[in-house]
Every structure is written in C-alpha cells, then in structure tokens.
Amino acid sequence: MKGIAGLAWMAGMIALLSACGGTDRHSATRDGADWPTTGRTLDAQRFSPLNSINRDTVGRLGLAWSVDLDTNAGQEATPIMRDGTLYIISAYDVVRAVDARTGEVRWTYDPQVRAAAARSCCGPVSRGVAVENGLVYVGALDGRLIALNAQDGTVRWQVQTLDDAWPPAVNYSITGAPRVIKGRVIIGNGGAEFGARGFITAYNAQSGKKEWRFYTVPGKPGTRDNAASDAMLGKVQSTWNGQWWRWGGGGTVWDAIEYDRELDLLYFGVGNGSPTNHGLRSDGKGDNLFLASIVAVRPDTGEYVWHYQETPAESWDYTATQPIILADLEIGGKMRKVLMQAPKNGFFYILDRATGELLSADPIAKTTWASHIDLKTGRPVENPDARYYRTGKTTILYPSSGGAHNWQPMSYSPQTGLVYLPVMEMGIPLSQGGSQTPVPGVYNTGTDMQGGTAWNAEQLKTIRQNTKGFLMAWDPVRRKVAWKRELAANFNGGVLSTGGGLVFQGNAERKFAAYDAKNGELLWQFDAQTGIAAAPITYAIDGIQYVAVMAGWGGAWPMLGGQLAEQPVNGVGPNRLLVFRLDGKGILPPLPNAAPRQLDPPTETASADLIARGNGLYGENCLRCHGMAAVSASMVPDLRHSGAIHSADAFNQIVIGGALKDQGMPGFRTQITASDLEAIRAYLIHRANQDAKNNGSGTR
C-alpha cells in the first residue's frame, strides 16, 4: 500500500508540475542541457550555465551541421530544444522537428498561410513555438492557434483566435511565440498599424477551449466584452476620448509575455496606438490605457493586478512589447524582485514586479522625444515639439518608430550582473497626414507616409553617420553602460549569454559572433552568408555543447529601410538553421555569383501631380513590404525592376486582381482604385528612371 500510495503521490506531483509548465523559474534543467522555453527559463534571462564553449575554447568553434529552410524570407524564431529534438519555426510558419545531434529533419508541418502573409506589418515571420506535454503550439499569421503532436507533427487541435467583429480579421496577425502557463496557452496578436484592437487570451492547453480574454483597450462606449478586462472598463475608458473604437485603438500584445511562479503573476507588454497619431485617435486627450504599458494579471482568470505605462498618450509607435526579463537584484541595499525592459522609447526600465513600482528608467540611446523619466511621477518629461499633431510641423525624433531596442531578445547574465542587448540610434521625421478614416488591410497611422525618393552617395553618408547600431552591456544596478561595441549596421540580432563568459549575437553584416562578456572583445565569428536577426540558443547532448541560431535576413528594417537597409551589405541570403560545436568541421556551400541587375524602366510620361499622388499611395499601401523609395533590401521583389510596371493590365491583375496571392502578394481590390493604381505605377516608373540615371545606383 505504501508503494502504491507513493506512486500515486509521484503521479500527482508530475501532473501538478505539468500543469504549472514543468519549468522552475531559475533552471530549465538543472544542468542547463535543454532549452525548453523561448527564454530558456521562466525568468526569460536567456542565460545558459553551459561552459564547455568558453573564452579559451571558442576559437575552436565550428559548424557541426545546418538545415536549409527553403526560403529567403527572414528568420526571427528562437529554437526550442527538448529531449534531443529541436523544434523550429521558419518564415510562413513552417514548423520542423530536427534531431539535435545530427540535423535530420524528423517531420515538417506547413499551415499554408502565404495568402495571409501581408497581414503582418513586418514580413511572414514568427518568433517561435512553445513545447509542453507532448504538444507543439504554433501561433499562425492568419490568427490560428494550432497544437501539433510533438512526435509526428499532426494537428491535435486548432482554434481561430481573432474576433469576428470590427476591426476585421484582415487587420490582425500573430508573429509572437505562445507561452504555456499552468495548463493554459497564452497568446496575443499583432496589427496595430492596420487598425486592430489588442487582446491577450488563455486557451486550455489540452483542448484549445478559450478560458479568458483581456482586452488592452476599451471598445465602443456602452458595450462590454464579457472578458476579464471588463472589471477595469470604467478606469480605462476614462483615459480615452473621441471615437477611437472606429480605428480599433491598437494595443496589440505581439511579443513579451512572461510569468513569475512565486508571485503567480503573468506579465505582458502592450503595443502602440491605432492610429499612431494621438490627435486623430483620441482627440489629443488622455493617456489611453493600456497602450505602451506593462500589465500584470492572474494567469488563472486574467484578473488585473497592476500596470505601468511607459509612454502615456503614445504617438510614435513606441511599443512596450519588447522582451521582458525577471531577476532578483540588490537595489538601494535591498533585494528586489524586478522586471526589466528596454522598450522602443529609448529608456531602460526596472520595475518592482510584485507591485509595478518604477525603480529606475535611464536612456540607453539618443532620445529627443523626452528628456528623462520623472521617478516621482513615473511619467516622461516630454519635448513639446514631439507632439507633431499639435505643432503642425514635421519633427525629427529619436528614437525612430523602429525603436532604440526592438523585438530582438536581450540576455541577463547572473555571472556578470549585466544585461546584453542590441541597441539602435536612428531618427524619423513625423508629421500629421494620411487617411482621416479607417481603411481595412492597409496602414492606418494618421501620419504622413510617403514612398520617398532616392538619396545620392553624399546624402547616404550623412544619414549613415546618424544611424548606428550597437551591442551594449548595461549595468542595471549602477544604471550605466558597462561597455558597448559599435556594429556595421543598425539592425542586428538577439543575444545569448553563457556560463563560459561569452555573449553570442548575429548581425546585419552576415556574421555570427562571440564576444567576451566582460569587455565586449570580439573572440570569434563565422560567415553565415545572410544577415541574422534571431537570437541564438545553446544546449548539450551526451556532454557536448552546441550553439544554434536561425539565420536569415528579414523583418521590419530590411523590408522598410530601402537604401539604408542595404548598408553595409544587403543581408539577404540562404535561410538556414546553423548549429555549432567545438571542432565542428561543417562547411556551407559557396554562394552563387549573382550579377547586379540593371534597371530598364518604361519611358516616364506621367505628370508631376500624378507621381506625387502615387508617392503617398505607395507609402500607405506598399512601403511596408517593398521598401522606402521602392528599394527592396529584403526578399520581397524590388518593384523598380518589376516587369509588371511596363503593363497597366499586368500590374492591375497582380495588385487589384490578386494573381499572386498564393505567393504572399494579396489583392487590394477593396483598398485601391484603378486610378490609385495608375498613380502608384507612375511613381514606380519615376523611381526606376531616377535610379537608372543615377550612375547605376539602381543596380542590385
């Protein structure tokens, strides 16, 4: 009887641990061999104690093996490694299970989401999957949450997470990694640029049944959602004005979601407003909760506990969806349970994660929208010129809407006490403009979005001098930079720190590199043949330590950045899973020699007025994928070279008719008229002729 009772007790404990997620806060596995969640442990520090690869041995690091991903659309995912299997998700949400020793692909699942790819602001990317209790959880671009059998990739269940009401589903997407907490799959969504209303939802991990939902912004006055957020409706709605619900309001939860088991609190970061322009969205009044905030709720019910708003009355696309790290730090002579985040707005925040109290907020990059954060009030001290909708002027602001730090993961090393993160310094001109009424399926920002024109070599040089990227080591206790290393471009990869005293990061220059965690010295690098934006992981099998990274240039900056994103090199290249070990002997095949393409545009005949109109329409409808000034630095076709601009009929069939929708280019029948289309074509012909005459600058 005692043995049976003991077995029953053990079975009960296993079930309890499974329901809680099965991973304690500080240790994924006691020896660090696995990488079971996107942040490795529940505190999401992305630090591994593995140390076979260290300062002394990293020079012997070599490629063990690689897996071709059959795309060049870009990679942002963090792999998961459990029990000898790597679970990866590629562009267009293609999931693979890979033998972590050999690289053999065990199964592949394709959710067929190419037709929904244009829903995403920033490419057909995903930041990862979740793996728990024999299931692999996938958030798909078309809004589905899918549970796969981890053994063979077959679908166990799937559910559509999007609302059927306004805003329409075409405005939404999912690019973030799900989290599994206490037997529930937690997922948010993206789409605030298009006109979405943000929410985060918990689904039963075994059945897919919805258990609760929390809306981050209120709906139409007088309505309730029958959601966990209803309890806060009065407080939240009082911070809004005008007719925000017609635009959706924004506040999508597209990435940062973390959990503290000791406090039993679920934390999530909330995105930007929709439209971006606070004057248009809310008549220029009110803080607009919970935009650009960190919110803490109970994971069982979604019950609100606390929030801290980093950017009140958000009007610059300054999201708070950037990665969150949990740690215990000594601050002011007292141990504090803290939450750390470096959001887009340029400040590094430390909060008491039990109460939401602001402990510190310091700039990590050039910031001109605000001089500092008042620690007594918790509010930014703003530059009055930053609110362009009040001044009526164009204002150049730092950081840009891309942020001082974006989605790329950062890492905290308990060995050094430092946070390692990629940092950008880049400004953006902002002014009021764009459509004054919501248009489904296209950018609805309330700002003047132009397609842009080309820069000559001297202009590019000047702009580049003010556009920088760094790998930074930040001391969160001393509140200062410990060291920083300037990189060749501004948009670089996520970060891993290890017990071997190393920091790993990929970059836009097609390199995967290892640095000394103490001082930033470059110790090793590998030619990846493509830019790297994703964060690496490390794991061990049979006593051998491996380092793995999803290599592939894509995402917001390569798609939007045009000529700037081609500096110092165009990072587009073969997308692969790269896995390294000491004394690895693998070699990547050489890249084919690609001759630069010469521009051969049609003769330019359109009027200046038509070209100017096309410039604005391109900015609102096309720029997000095809690039600033119609220069593509990503895998998306460069429209200056497109044969379709030679024929009005062919251009119509593609853009309005949707002839290429199965390849990720949707039809814009409900957004663009025939006269709009001709204006866009005139602008593209103009841009192609400009660059064809500009000493070959249109070659690629």
Whole-angstrom Cα distance, residue 151 to residue 157?
Answer: 15
317 given a catalytic annotation: yes
Q: Which residues are annotated as a binding site for heme c?
A: 622, 625-626, 665
The values of phi and psi at residue 662, to 5°, are -75, -10
Contact 276, 195 (CB under 8 A): no
- In a domain? residue 148: no
Range 207-212 average pLDDT: 98
Q: What is the pLDDT of residue 452?
A: 65
Q: What is the pLDDT of residue 696?
A: 52
pLDDT in tens, 598-615: 899 999 999 999 999 999
Whole-angstrom Cα distance, residue 446 to residue 425?
Answer: 24
Q: Which residues are annotated as a binding site?
A: 76, 127, 175, 191-193, 252, 272, 317, 344, 406-407, 622, 625-626, 665
Flag whether pLDDT at 430 surpasses 80.
yes
Angle at CA of residue 684, ends 678 and 687, nearest 5°: 145
Of 163-172, 440-449, 470-479, 490-499, the least confident: 163-172
Q: What is the pLDDT of residue 303?
A: 98
Q: What is the pLDDT of residue 662?
A: 80
Strand order in the sheet with 47-48: 47-48, 495-498, 502-506, 511-516, 522-527
Range 362-367 average pLDDT: 97
Q: Which residues are annotated as a binding site for pyrroloquinoline quinone?
A: 76, 127, 175, 191-192, 252, 344, 406-407
Flag whether pLDDT at 138 surpasses 80.
yes
Flag whether pLDDT at 531 surpasses 60.
yes
Flag whether pLDDT at 697 surpasses 80.
no
Flag whether pLDDT at 116 surpasses 60.
yes
Contact 283, 242 (CB under 8 A): yes
Whole-angstrom Cα distance, residue 198 to residue 288?
Answer: 13
Contact 227, 198 (CB under 8 A): no
Q: What is the pLDDT of residue 572?
A: 85
Whole-angstrom Cα distance, residue 643 to residue 199?
Answer: 42
Q: What is the pLDDT of residue 695?
A: 56
What is the residue-averaged pLDDT of the chain? 91
The values of phi and psi at residue 689, to 5°, are -70, -40
Number of domains in the chain: 1
- In a domain? residue 327: no
Which one of the listed residues 317, 638, 676, 691 is annotated catalytic?
Answer: 317
- In a domain? residue 543: no
Q: What is the pLDDT of residue 12?
A: 36
Q: What is the pLDDT of residue 450?
A: 66
Flag whether pLDDT at 290 surpasses 80.
yes
Whole-angstrom Cα distance, residue 409 to residue 324?
Answer: 9
Whole-angstrom Cα distance, residue 140 to residue 125?
Answer: 10
Picking from 428, 426, 427, 424, the residue whose alpha carbon sits closest to that of residue 449 is: 428
Q: What is the pLDDT of residue 276?
A: 94
pLDDT in tens, 391-426: 999 888 999 999 999 999 999 999 999 999 999 999
Task: Give the three-state DSSP class for 212.
Answer: strand
Left if phi > 0, otherwise alpha if psi is -120 to 50, otherwise beta: which for 468? beta
Range 204-221 average pLDDT: 97
Flag whether pLDDT at 328 surpasses 90.
yes
Say if residue 488 is exposed, middle or buried (CB neighbours under 10 Å; 0-12, 13-18, 19+).
middle
Q: What is the pLDDT of residue 30?
A: 55
Of 178-182, 476-480, 618-622, the least confident: 618-622
- In a domain? residue 669: yes
Better-predicted residue by pLDDT, 401 or 115: 401
Q: What is the pLDDT of residue 20?
A: 44
- In a domain? residue 486: no
Contact 320, 335 (CB under 8 A): no
Neighbour count for residue 608 (Cβ, 10 Å): 9
Flag whether pLDDT at 53 surpasses 90.
yes
Q: Is the peptide bond before 384 cis (omega within 30 degrees of 0)?
A: no
Say if residue 635 is exposed, middle or buried (CB neighbours under 10 Å; 0-12, 13-18, 19+).
buried
Q: What is the pLDDT of residue 620?
A: 83
Q: What is the pLDDT of residue 9?
A: 30
Identify the residue whose tokens are 């591994």: 48
Expressed as residue numbers, the domain containing 632 is 608-692
Better-predicted residue by pLDDT, 557 or 683: 683
Flag whether pLDDT at 700 surpasses 60.
no
- Those residues whose C-beta lies under 8 Å from the C-beta of residue 189, and which sit 6 or more positions away, are 143, 161, 162, 172, 173, 174, 196, 198, 199, 252, 253, 254
Neighbour count for residue 68 (Cβ, 10 Å): 12
- In a domain? residue 647: yes
Flag whether pLDDT at 23 surpasses 60.
no
- In a domain? residue 632: yes
Flag whether pLDDT at 217 surpasses 60.
yes
Q: Which residues are annotated as a binding site for Ca(2+)?
A: 193, 272, 317
CATH number, domain with residue 613: 1.10.760.10
- In a domain? residue 613: yes
